[in-house]
């Protein structure tokens, strides 16, 4: 299992938007975005190319203020970030209740609309659904409401018929989800971050220049982590392998996120200029 797009320039910009852009008023000058992302290893040309793709997806909209070229977080983008907040920073928030059963998404997409079929499969994967068979996807029942809402927003719900109920006991979850692949991704995360920070933000030598290094690590940390809430369906611990690494990965993420948030925010505030008024 490989999560696409993680730690690319576009993904890092989206992570920056979730962590900082709303607090900054939802708008940022292109020059400031390039400057603030420099410690994270993202150069100006890569930022500009990524912004074009993000704009096409509707997360950001180009907007000049005071003669300065910039980008504004759209309403749809803000809603998407808000949905992500509750899952990215709350491991286990969607833990399934075995007694609640399962939801099935059964879909049929015309052969002439292969793009919609691809988008639907991608959305269901990122919503935490596993595969029962061709055109039949399964998830814990508590994922039903957010899944239907997201597919409706993406104009994909018209292809789906929904069913809820109880499946075999024990549920063959290893057949429905690539648990081995997901566990390998969690272990990769632990391999990257378990040894602790590259920088200790409590050190007196941190400020101000080292704040940029902390910001870069924090941005990469959150960008790496935010793939998991969409791939991990939150299965009950009793359905998972005994050595499941998800909880250990969460403990590492939450500890580093807590340590790095303040110096990362301080760095952003020293680089990004106050937002000029619109109009």
pTM: 0.83
> What whole-number distance in Å separates Cα of residue 140 and Cα of residue 95?
8
DSSP 272: S
pLDDT at 92: 58
Q: Mean pLDDT in each 10-residue stretch from start to end of the chain (279 residues)?
A: 63 96 94 96 95 94 93 92 78 61 91 89 87 91 87 91 87 90 94 70 48 93 90 82 91 92 95 80
Q: What is the DSSP string of 10-23?
A: HHHHHHHIIIIITT
pLDDT at 91: 67
Listed by start position, the domains of the chain span 1-94+177-279, 102-165
Backbone angles phi, psi at 106, to 5 degrees: -105, 120
pLDDT at 260: 94
Sign of torsion over alpha carbons 113, 115, 118, 119: negative
pLDDT at 98: 61
pLDDT at 6: 57
CATH topology of domain 102-165: Alpha-Beta Plaits (3.30.70)
């Amino acid at each position: 299992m490989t999560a696409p797009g993680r730690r690319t320039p576009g993904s890092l910009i989206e992570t920056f938007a979730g962590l900082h852009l709303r607090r900054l008023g939802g708008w940022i000058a292109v020059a400031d975005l390039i400057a603030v992302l420099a410690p994270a290893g993202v150069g100006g040309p890569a930022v500009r190319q990524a912004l074009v793709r993000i704009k096409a997806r509707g997360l950001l909209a180009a907007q000049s203020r005071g003669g300065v070229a910039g980008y504004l977080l759209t309403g749809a983008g803000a809603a998407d970030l808000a949905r992500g907040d509750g899952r990215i920073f709350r491991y286990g928030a969607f833990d399934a209740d075995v007694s609640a059963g399962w939801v099935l998404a059964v879909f049929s997409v015309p052969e002439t609309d292969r793009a919609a079929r691809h988008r639907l499969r991608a959305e269901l994967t990122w919503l935490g659904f596993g595969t029962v068979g061709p055109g039949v996807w399964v998830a814990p029942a508590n994922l039903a409401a957010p899944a239907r809402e997201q597919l409706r927003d993406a104009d994909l719900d018209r292809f789906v018929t929904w069913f809820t109920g109880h499946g075999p006991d024990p549920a063959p979850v290893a057949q429905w989800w690539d648990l081995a692949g997901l566990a390998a991704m969690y272990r990769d995360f632990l391999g990257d971050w378990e040894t602790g920070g590259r920088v200790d933000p409590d050190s007196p030598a941190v400020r101000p220049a080292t704040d940029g290094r902390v910001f870069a690590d924090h941005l990469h940390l959150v960008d790496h982590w935010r793939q998991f809430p969409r791939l991990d369906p939150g299965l009950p611990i009793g359905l998972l392998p005994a050595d499941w690494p998800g909880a250990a990965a969460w403990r590492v993420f939450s500890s580093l996120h807590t340590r790095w948030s303040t110096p990362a925010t301080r760095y952003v505030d020293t680089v990004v200029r106050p937002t000029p008024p619109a109009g």
